[in-house]
Amino acid sequence: MTAPIEQRIKAHAFALGFDLVGITALGPADTAPAFERWVDAGYDGEMAYLKRGAEKRADTRRPVPGAVSAIVVALDYGGKAPDGPVARYARGDDYHELMLERLNELHRLVEREAGRDVPGKAYVDTGPILERDLARRAGLGWFGKNTNLINPRLGSFFFLGELLLDLELAPDAPFDTEHCGSCRACLDACPTQAFVEPGVLDATRCISYLTIELKGEIPEEFHAAIADGGHLYGCDVCQDVCPWNVKFARELKEPAFQPRPVVASKNAKTLATDILTMSEDEFRAAFKGSPMKRAKLAALRRTATVVRGGAHN
């Protein structure tokens, strides 16, 4: 007896290396109103791209005309790795390209299983899609108080990706419960107190935003938190303290996410010194294919100067 197509698709996704996979129907995004309120409050800071495509974000049927289903996947990036000056997700190769390549391969496998061409498109963190919304609807987890999607068997150290398809698929049950309870570990541990309330992040106070997205100078009020914590690029504190990660975070298994030599085993001040003495050519060579190229060398030097001014070693 042939297994249902949904089961076969999931088997292909796991064979491609994804750690979680779920299916959901497309439609109005449950969290679109909250997202719009968040943007209107100015919590997006300089991330103007988040304002674009508002109509598409509000309904997941709109980014890909004709699409009716989404296959949502997660790929773990090793939450058990030691902390350091670079957030875990950015230490190796860029996850966008790796995941898109695998999602496109999954698309081809779906077409083989369906026996026909299936119009669709893969997205990883770059399209007008509220990805956590889709992931929760596909049964992958709940929204933690730190705004991350948390899975009860994996924690939150994973990337999300979606394959939107013009193919009717039986949806999985949504993840309708939350399991943070009275815990405030992430809220209380944030070095810059960036959480306005549980589940609401003021990105303009978040170290990840300040060290990656912010184009100008980092406000002086945040210098001590960045320097003393040794945060050169991004921040994992709210994930590190989450009990679900303490218990269920995994060792890194994806070779592409292994730390590249320029960041491996370096403390904050050593890496900051390296950044400050790099030429543009050395930067391009060291960080080719790295998420850290997003910040540009000038911004990394800005943050490195702040880190060098603190007590962190």
Q: Map tokens 């309870």 to a residue.
A: 181
Is residue 125 part of the annotated active site? The answer reads yes
Q: How is residue 203 written in tokens?
A: 């990105």
Residues 6+ apart with CB under 8 A from 141: 135, 149, 150, 151, 152, 154, 156, 175
Q: How is residue 62 written in tokens?
A: 């709109």
For the chain, the farthest-separated pair of C-alpha atoms sits apart, in whole angstroms, at: 66
Determine which helix (DSSP H) or strand (DSSP E) holds 74, and give its type and residue range.
Answer: strand 69-76
Whole-angstrom Cα distance, residue 26 to residue 164? 8
- Give CB contacts under 8 A, 24+ apart, made by 40-48: 42/204, 43/196, 43/200, 43/201, 43/202, 43/203, 43/204, 44/203, 45/203, 45/204, 45/209, 45/213, 45/214, 46/213, 46/214, 46/215, 47/203, 47/209, 47/213
**Active-site annotation holder among 59, 76, 94, 125:** 125
Contact of 99 with 294, CB cutoff 8 Å: no
CA–chain centroid gap for 10, Å, is 21
Whole-angstrom Cα distance, residue 168 to residue 6? 10
Q: How is residue 231 written in tokens?
A: 């945060």
Residues labelled as active-site residues: 125
